[in-house]
Structure 1
Amino acid sequence: MAKKVLIVEDNELNLKLFCDLLRAHDYDARGVSDGREALATAREFAPDLVIMDIQLPHVSGLDLIAAMRADDALREIPVMAVTAYAAHGDEARIRAAGAQAYVSKPISVMRFVGSVEALL
């Protein structure tokens, strides 16, 4: 059975790219473009991995990661942050929030897929 990956990304082009890349590597990928839907979708979809944009409208990806870590049903799901935040200290701050991996945008396809494989 294919591993399930939930992508939380507000940029429709990035969301399509991530879903297409993962599906091409035999993952069951589902995307949400509104972070307010992320937790409910994660509970329903039960992903093996969540790929989380950090800069989202309405709710921060960091807040979503914190909410996942506080939720018994979601706390064990690994999170890979994919973000344009690449300033000094951003990776440490994102990992401290509970993300297990960090990939900066624009992504390297090989690094992106490799990070997904390493987490799964």
Structure 2
Amino acid sequence: MVHKTILVVEDHQVSRDLVVELLTAAGYIVLEAEDGLGLIERVKRERPNLILMDLQLPRIDGFTLIRQLKADAETREIPVLAVTAYTQPEQKASALDAGCAYYLTKPLDTQAVLSVVARFLA
């Protein structure tokens, strides 16, 4: 089995722990970040296969980070999935416009998360 690496960007520890545990149990290598400071450089250095990004982060919001990742030739091909409590259609549209590949809302359906992750890493 080829081990794929996923970066989980989530500022709430309990939410991050849940996603990390779920993905680790499924056999993925999981990296964690609690905010977006230095995230672009870290992504370039560690080259995750997929990023799960909370949109409401301290210091730099997820929308801005997604736009930065998609504007950079070194990181634009890495799929970014929004994982957020934002449920309004305009927020979803903004995330997709920023370059998000998929939009998952909290509370998370763990089976849906695994299914979507597997699809993007196939």
TM more than 0.5: yes
| Greater alpha carbon shift after TM alignment, 22-31 vs 84-93 | 84-93
SS at match of 1:80: strand
Query: Using the alignment, how far apart are the partners of 2:71 and 2:98 within structure 1?
Result: 11
Q: Corresponding residue for 1:119?
A: 120
Structure 1 alignment gaps of length 5 or more: none
For 2:61, give the aligned amino acid: S
Query: Using the alignment, how far apart are the partners of 1:42 and 1:14 within structure 2?
Result: 21
For 1:50, give the aligned amino acid: I
Structure 2 alignment gaps of length 5 or more: none
Query: Using the alignment, how far apart are the partners of 2:55 and 2:35 within structure 1?
Result: 12
Deviation per CA, 1:69-89: give whole Å up to 9, x if none: 111110100000000000132
Q: Corresponding residue for 2:61?
A: 60
Q: Which runs of 4+ in 1 moved over 6 A?
A: none
Contact 2:81 2:104 in 1 (8 A): yes
Is 1:25–2:9 an aligned residue pair?
no
Q: Corresponding residue for 1:36?
A: 37
Following superposition of structure 1 onto structure 2, how do residues 1-12 of structure 1 map, counting pairs within 5 Å? 1-12=2-13
Root-mean-square deviation over aligned CA pairs? 0.9
| Same amino acid, percent of matched pairs | 35
Equivalences, count: 120
TM-score normalised to structure 1 length = 0.95
Following superposition of structure 1 onto structure 2, how do residues 48-87 of structure 1 map, counting pairs within 5 Å? 48-87=49-88
- What is the CA distance between 1:59 and its match in structure 2? 0.4
